[in-house]
Structure 1
Amino acid sequence: MTGSKTTSTTIARMRAGRARGESKTDAAKLRAAAPYAWDGENEDERPLTREEMQAGIAAYRRRRGRPAGSDKESTTIRLDRDILAAFRASGPGWQTRMNAALRDWLKTHTPT
């Protein structure tokens, strides 16, 4: 695994560390550290209240998914491979660009 931060140790070393009062994780160190204390000067550094955090989470949950009221319709269409490859090669947003190309074509042509 690239970038893995796992380490290995023996059971004997783990038991010896636990006997000395060392934690298996850093959670104990975090709990023992002094809590953040806001100095009251900079409002941007003020920790959020529980209500503010819950309101932010609720707003995030409402935003997830597709936008409501979209005028788009999902469809299946068969296209020549070279045309599809050309649009895909143009990078992210190729479907939007394909939609714009079709819209531009409709300005000068009447579908039959």
Structure 2
Amino acid sequence: MPDSKAAKAPAGRTNWAALRAMPDDEIERIATEDEDNPATDESHWINASVYAPSGKTAIHATLDQDVVEFFKRNGSDYSARMNEVLRNYMETQQDETRDR
């Protein structure tokens, strides 16, 4: 039996050596002709922003499906709302501990 999930992972279909050897213009041509690759131009990125949230830690959490669906109903920023609920709970617990 394998010791880790990585040991069981199937090999990908990408020929990385061929891709690394391919000129950029050839990669661009293939991407442009790919039906699954939506065409975008510079206007697509006009409102984009890149940022790294400070003080955030990525975790893997298993949550009840109905809880996640509840938060997702109000938009894609559901993880931020979940974080706010957890923060509120944490701060309430800290306040109660201080009051004792």
| Superposition TM-score, scaled by structure 1 size | 0.36
Q: Which has the higher helix share?
A: 2
Q: TM-score, normalised by structure 2?
A: 0.40
Greater Cα radius of gyration, structure 1 or 2: 1
